[in-house]
Structure formats: C-alpha cells, structure tokens
C-alpha cells in the first residue's frame, strides 16, 4: 500500500472535509482554529508534502525559502492567492492550487446586500430599533437612496463581477464595467453592460462602484486617492474582493468629509485591522470578511482542495493549478 502524503492544514475546516482528508491522507489538523505564527508555518512547510493554507496565512518568499524537500503542493483553501508568493513557489518546484468558482454566487449575494444596506441605511435603522430609539414613523427620517435607475460600475468582470451584474440588472441598475478586456459580446448583450476601457471615465459617471477584481501588484490601490475623487458626492463604494485594491485611508477621509455618500466593506487593507475613522462613521457598513461564508461554499471549497491534492498525488495536473502568468 502506497504511503499516504503528509498534509498539514493551517485552520479548522468543516468537519466532513476534515474527516474525508483523514481518510485519504496523513493529516495534521489545526483544532484550535487560531492562525499559525510564521515559525509554525515554516515548520509546516519544512515537514509536509502538502500544506493547505487559507487567506490568513502569508506564505512569502522568505517563508517559502524554508520549505522542506518534500513539499510539492500548496493547496489553498480560497480563491484568492495573494497570500502566497506563487512565482517563488513555482520557481522552487512547488505547485499552487486554489478553489475558484464555488464562492461566486455567495460573494455576489453579499455584494448586492451591501449595495442595498448602504443605499437604504439598513444597518443604521436596525441599530436605532435595537437600541430602543425608534419613536415612530416620520416622512423625512432615515431617507436613503433608490437603487433602481442608478448606474453600477463593476471593477473586475470575471465570474463574481458577472454574477453581481445579473443580480443588479434585476434590481433595475444600469450595468457599467471596467476590465482588462471586454466580456464576450453575448455576455455584454445579456447583461446590457457598457464597457469602459478608461476606469477614470467610468468612475466619474456611476452612482455605485463595486470592487470585484483580485488583488495583484497591478490592482494595488487601483482605487487611489486620485481616482476616488473622480466619484460623485452621492456615490457609494462597495468592496467584497480585497481591501488592498482601495486606498483605505483616502476612502475614510472622503467619507468623513461627506465627499462620498457611503461605503459597504467586507474586506480591509490591513485586515483584520480596520481604519479607526471607518469604525466611527454612520454611513459605512462594515462586515467581517464573510462574503463567501455559507455552509455550502465552505464545503465545496473543501471538496476542491481534496480533489486538487488527490489529482496531484496521483500524478496528474490538478484542475485548479495557479500559474503566475494568470495573476
């Protein structure tokens, strides 16, 4: 009988996923679910055949240089791989995989929820009721903004961006988008989507901007202080992708000065730290990185991790291999 590969999992995963892993592999689980320190991660990289990290684990070139000779695969539990230096891993002969696709619908749902919550002041209203401050209906109190008929600008028109567009179209929003290249004509026609090659030009024209692109060196602070100033004062910024895409300090300052109407954020530039100014603003909805947090999504992510490991260990190309040129 072939020896089972040594697999080290850095965080607590759903019980059925961990059980199946234990059936197939020689697994070390993190039952405490506390993030591993850099030294603990280095130890895992030194001892394992396969490491299963999450977005909370930063596997940079320094840590990867301490990887042991047996480490052949990093099977990321997550779609984004900005936590891993993929180029260094590949240079060291370590394959990297991720879990794309399975969290598309859940993240798009959360994006739509943040658009609605920000425009209609849902969290503010809930807090008034829960604190006992509701004194009755008033014709001029808690006025938000209608979203039907407004323009939504989508930054990144991949799987999630298109899923957001489908939902937003049903709510009566006009779809605009900026992407590295236009979507196929059939998709654009179905979504009635307007493509903007110039991000600057799109930002100046939309009422809501939704960030749905990955974090790469090319997208770091893509919504810079200069670009945020192009938005109209009534605009809302929503981010369910990665915090690093937005200059968070500039966003907080503009919101505090009333230069933007509001924001709905599920991710942050220095996560889990959040700019203190954002925490104090009533026109900001802040969520704890829960865009893909459904039972179904986490189970399907685990299944993809297992398939990637099993396929790789059987000597085949894993279905979700990440190539540096893709980033």
pLDDT of residue 326: 55
**Which member of 18, 28, 124, 271 is catalytic?**
271
| CATH number where 41 lies | 3.40.50.720
- Catalytic residue flag (residue 20): no
Statement to judge: residues 162 and 311 lie in one domain: no
Statement to judge: residues 128 and 274 lie in one domain: yes
Give me the number of domains the chain comprises: 2
- CA distances, 228 to each of 134, 202, 206, 217, 232 (Å): 35, 12, 12, 19, 9
Statement to judge: residues 14 and 54 lie in one domain: yes
Statement to judge: residues 248 and 279 lie in one domain: yes
pTM: 0.91
Residue 324 confidence class, pLDDT cut points 50, 70, 90: confident
Statement to judge: residues 273 and 194 lie in one domain: yes
CA atoms of 236 and 72, how far apart (whole Å): 44
- Catalytic residue flag (residue 289): yes
Residue 176 lies in a domain: yes
CA atoms of 315 and 300, how far apart (whole Å): 23
Give the residue-averaged pLDDT of 24-52: 96
**Which member of 20, 121, 151, 242 is catalytic?**
242
Burial class, 287, CB count within 10 angstroms (exposed 0-12 / middle 13-18 / buried 19+): middle
Count of CA atoms in the C-beta half-sphere (13 A) of 163: 19
Statement to judge: residues 56 and 113 lie in one domain: no
Q: What is the pLDDT of residues 169-222, one digit of tens each?
A: 999 999 999 999 999 999 999 999 999 999 999 999 999 999 999 999 999 999
Residue 190 lies in a domain: yes
Statement to judge: residues 130 and 264 lie in one domain: yes
Statement to judge: residues 173 and 257 lie in one domain: yes
> In terms of C-beta distances under 8 Å and separation of at least 24 residues, what long-range contacts does 29-38 make, across chains too?
35/10, 35/11, 36/10, 38/63
Range of 176's domain?
104-286
**Which member of 58, 289, 303, 321 is catalytic?**
289
N- to C-terminal Cα separation, the chain: 39
Statement to judge: residues 51 and 191 lie in one domain: no
Q: Is 164 helix (H, G, I), strand (E, B) or coil?
A: helix
Statement to judge: residues 166 and 223 lie in one domain: yes
Q: What is the pLDDT of residues 210-269, one digit of tens each?
A: 999 999 999 999 999 999 999 999 999 999 999 999 999 999 999 999 999 999 999 999
- Catalytic residue flag (residue 271): yes
Statement to judge: residues 78 and 160 lie in one domain: no
Residue 1 lies in a domain: no
Q: Is 178 helix (H, G, I), strand (E, B) or coil?
A: strand
Q: What is the 3-class SS of 169-199, one letter each residue? A: HHCCCEEEEECCCCCCHHHHHHHCCEECCCH
Statement to judge: residues 167 and 216 lie in one domain: yes
Residue 247 lies in a domain: yes
Residue 252 lies in a domain: yes
């Amino acid at each position: 009988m072939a020896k089972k590969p040594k697999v080290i999992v850095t965080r607590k995963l759903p019980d059925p996923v961990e059980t199946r892993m234990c059936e197939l592999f020689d697994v070390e689980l993190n039952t405490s679910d506390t993030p591993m320190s850099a030294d603990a991660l280095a130890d895992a990289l030194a001892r394992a055949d396969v490491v299963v990290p999450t977005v909370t684990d930063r596997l940079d070139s320094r840590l990867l240089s301490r990887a042991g000779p047996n480490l052949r695969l990093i099977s990321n539990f997550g779609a984004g791989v900005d936590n891993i230096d993929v180029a260094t891993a590949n240079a060291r002969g370590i394959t990297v995989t991720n879990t794309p696709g399975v969290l598309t619908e859940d993240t798009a749902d959360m994006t739509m929820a943040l658009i609605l919550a920000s425009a209609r002041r849902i969290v503010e209203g809930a807090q008034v009721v829960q604190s006992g401050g509701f004194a009755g209906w008033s014709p001029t109190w808690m006025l938000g903004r209608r979203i039907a008929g407004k323009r939504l600008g989508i930054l990144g028109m991949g799987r999630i961006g298109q899923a957001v567009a489908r939902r937003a179209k049903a709510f009566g929003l006009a779809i605009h988008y900026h992407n590295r290249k236009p979507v196929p004509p059939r998709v654009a026609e179905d979504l009635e989507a307007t493509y903007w090659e110039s991000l600057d030009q799109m930002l100046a024209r939309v009422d809501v901007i939704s960030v749905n692109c990955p974090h790469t060196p090319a997208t770091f602070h893509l919504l810079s202080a200069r670009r945020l100033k192009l938005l109209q004062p009534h605009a809302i910024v929503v981010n369910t992708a990665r915090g690093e895409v937005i200059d968070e300090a500039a966003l907080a300052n503009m919101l505090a000065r009333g230069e933007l109407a509001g924001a709905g954020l599920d991710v942050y530039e220095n996560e889990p730290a959040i700019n203190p100014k954002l925490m104090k603003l009533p026109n900001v909805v802040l969520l704890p990185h829960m865009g893909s947090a459904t039972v179904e999504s986490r189970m399907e992510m685990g299944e993809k991790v297992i398939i990637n490991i099993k396929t790789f260990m059987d000597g085949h190309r894993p279905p979700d291999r990440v190539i540096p040129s893709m980033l």
